[in-house]
Every structure is written in C-alpha cells, then in structure tokens.
Structure 1
Amino acid sequence: MGNELGLMPFQNWIVVDSAAKVERQLVADSAEKTGNSLGRCVSSDVSDRYGNVHEKSMKTTRALLLAAALLAGCQTAAQQRANHMSAVIKQTVAQMKDCAAEAYNSPSAAPIRARRPMDPADATLAQLNSADHASPDEIKSLYAVHDMIQPCRKATADELMTVTPTVVPILLDSYQQGDTALLSLINQQTTWGQYLQDQQREENVGKAKLIAELNRIQRDLQQSYRAEMQQRAQAAQAMENYLQTQQAINAMNRPVYTNCTSFGNTTNCLTH
C-alpha cells in the first residue's frame, strides 16, 4: 500500500467509487420511496387540492404548504452529505493524482522511473523479481521525490478530514508503512523486487480497510436517510389530515344561498 510517492492510486479510486456508490444509492432510494408529493421539492398538488380552504385559516395553511414544500422531495441531510462527500473526494483524488504525477515525472524522479511504475500494481514481472539494491543516484532520487510528495499527502489528508475523517487514519497508516518500506530500500535492507512486492501486499491490505470503512459510512448514511424519510412521511401525513379536516369544517360552515327566478306561474330555485 504505502509507497514513497504516497499515491495509493487503487485505494483512492476505491474511495471515489464507494463515495459515488453511496450517492447513487441514496438517490435511488429517494426515487423509490418518496412517491407522490414527497418526490418533489415543490408540492404543488397539495395546493391545488386544498386551495379552497376558508380564508380565516389561510395563514396556517400557507405555513403548512411551505413546510410541505420543504419536507417534500428536497434532499435529506444524508443525501446532501453523500453528494458533498462524493464531490470533495473526487476533487481531492484528482488533485492528489496531479500532484503525485508531477513529482513522478519530474527530472528528480528520472533515476527511479525504470525501477517502478507510479502505481506498484502496474509493476512488471521483471521489476518484481529484481534483486538489485538501490544505487546512490536512486537513493538521492527517492529522497527528492519523497520531499516533493509530502505536500500532496498533507493536502489529501486535510481535505478528506472534512468529509470522511474516519478514513484519514487509514491513509496516515499507509503513509507510515510506505516510509518504513522506503527506508528499508534506502538502507539496502531490501531489494527493488522485494520492495515492490511488499508495496502490492500493503495496497491490498489498505484497500480492504478502506472498503470496510466506506461500507460502514454508507450503512450509517442509509440509516439516517430512512429515519429522515420516515419523519417527512409522518409530517406530510399530519398535514394531509389537517387539510382534509379543515376542508370538511369549511364545507359545514359555508353559508347556504338560494336563488329563485319566476316566469309566469313557474318558479325555479337553485341552492348553493
């Protein structure tokens, strides 16, 4: 997992894909569960159906209709969090990749580019089988690239802390693991092949940890979403009951008018 570039590209795209999955799932749940007026931000059908409520209760009715509009299809707090989380993570990973790619493609990294790809998962069989130790020029390059990548690491951790703070310890642990492996390579304790193999194993461990944590976040968001949708449904039902009751009361209290017209010996009356 951890490497001297601090990239963890596979795991980070797992973060992006999982965040997008959370967002898509909540949107799908909303489309499936909200139904009629709860599926829209403006509940105009309520106003159309109950627009004849008596004037003396119109202030209350307008307040309820406003509440209905706010409670209806507008995104829940869980959906808003999922959308924000997905957007921040996508932007953060893109920035991190650009930052790391700049370091990897810099002149300082030239001595090590033949030794390892930017993503250890892309290492060739020959690279994985290398029995060579790092040369003085390669060690110098490793130090230089590590210094260049440190701001990328910090920026990534800082950004993710704002949306998925529980993911950050996993990233920091990967950074530490990467530094430990890098020191072993620099100190001639491991070969390039051993180093890359260790990196691949660590990436698999990190991926599993990230998936587990993001699945937990998704479960929490879905639980929050369902709870809020239930509250909205109860509020909408209470409003529906109120308006129906008010409509019935208005019907009973409405004045009765009878208009009669006569033509010769015939009189016709209309009551309304």
Structure 2
Amino acid sequence: MKGRVLIIAGSDSGGGAGIQADIKAVTALGGFAMTAITALTAQNTLGVHGVAGVPIDFIRQQIAVVLDDLGADALKTGMLHDVPVIEAVCEEIAARATGVPLVADPVMVAKGGHPLLAPAAVETLKARLLPLATVITPNLPEAEVLVGRPIRDVPGMREAAAALRGLGVPAVLLKGGHLEGDVVTDLLVTADGAEEFVSPRIATRHTHGTGCTLASAIAAGLAQGLSLRGAVVRARAYVQAAIAAAPGFGAGHGPLDHGVTVDPSRIPG
C-alpha cells in the first residue's frame, strides 16, 4: 500500500459515487484512503432522494485530525455543496496541506439530475477552491457553468479549458463524455500544452460515479509519485475497465466494478 489520499466529499448511500466510490478507487489502485465527509445523501441508481449537510465545525475537525496525525500525499475534493462548506474546506487545506497535490472535482449535479451545489456557491468555488487545485476534472455541464457558455465540440473544449486555466488553475482535465459519438475525448491542458485522450465509448447505462472514480484514481496516482499525465492515463484505463466490468446492479444508472483490479483467487484460505 502506497500513497495517502484524503478525500473531502459527500457520501452516496448507494455505493456507486461519492466517498464510497472514492475509497474503492484509491484502494483498488493500491493507495490508502482517508475521508472528511461533507454531506450525507439518500441515493440509489435512480437518483438522489435526500441530502443532509454535515456541521461545518465537524467537517473542519475531520480534516484537521486526519492531516495532523496521518498526513496526506494527495487530496481530492468532491461534493462541496454551499459557500460555508467551500470556505471551510479551503481554509483547512491552506492551513494544513500547503504543497500537497489537490484534485478538485467540481461536483454540481448528480447523474440523475439532482443539484449538488447551490447556485450561489459557484463563484466561491471559482474564487477559493480552483486556485488551490493541482488539476480540476469537470465534465462538460460543469465546465459550461464555470465558463458561462455552451461547449458543443472538441474545439469548444479547448477554448473552455483555456478559460478555466485563466481562473488560476495549473491544469484542467476536461471530460468529454457528454458529447455524442462513438468515442469519448478527454482533454488535458497544462502550461505545457493540450493533449487529447480518445477511447471507444462503452454502450451502457452503468456509469454512476465515473467522475468521482476518475478524480480519485488520479489523486491516488499523484500520491504514489506518478506525473500528472501518468496519473491521468492510468486513471482513464482503470475507469474504462471498471465500466466494462460493471455488475449491472440497480434499475437506473448502475455502479462500476471498482474491484476490477482485485483478484480474490490470490488470497489464501
């Protein structure tokens, strides 16, 4: 086991996304996952049925006690649902984890359409969280909110990623899964330029938690000393394998097989 990853995000009671997906992804890639839970959701493959926030002081305490004792080699943020939560998380990161790589997944809407970020919090997210990040991993709807315009094709993705870097983010992995077509194009943009990663689209409804999983897989790679590009390449391969092996659970957007890397036959007994 190598690489300590502190995940600051919401819980998904259905196990497919959120903290649960984050823990599974980091573990499946050989890292050590720690958590600070920002919110609880009553959720399944059909959607989010309820949300309960965690008290701000307790969010702070979770972050503080983990970092003060265990430390972290990378951070990952997910659902930070309102202004006080974003501000508290950013303050704790700035005070306790300066220099630790941060993968910020700007979670705004659940797969089923339920909003997970208050509209008033978007500007706070842009002003406070994004400049702390090593890389952000928005999907196209999230990027459209952040840049304030539609994104309809890969050239549009390039323009949006450049605009996001203009907000003070060193690197952007813009996920293109919402574009139509037989392939999925993700775009990594850094100070060194832009690189497209293209893979065949897997025809399935079982894609719940792909964004959380990808971001945490990248964080695990950074925690283990991989370059950003290396972490992205491995994370994309892992997510593709997990989608292809999805167990088919649930009547809606089903979960991935996060344990696709695990071989129980190797365990004696």
Q: With CA pairs under 8 Å and 6+ residues apart, which has the higher RCO, 1 or 2?
A: 1
TM-score (norm 1): 0.24
TM-score (norm 2): 0.24
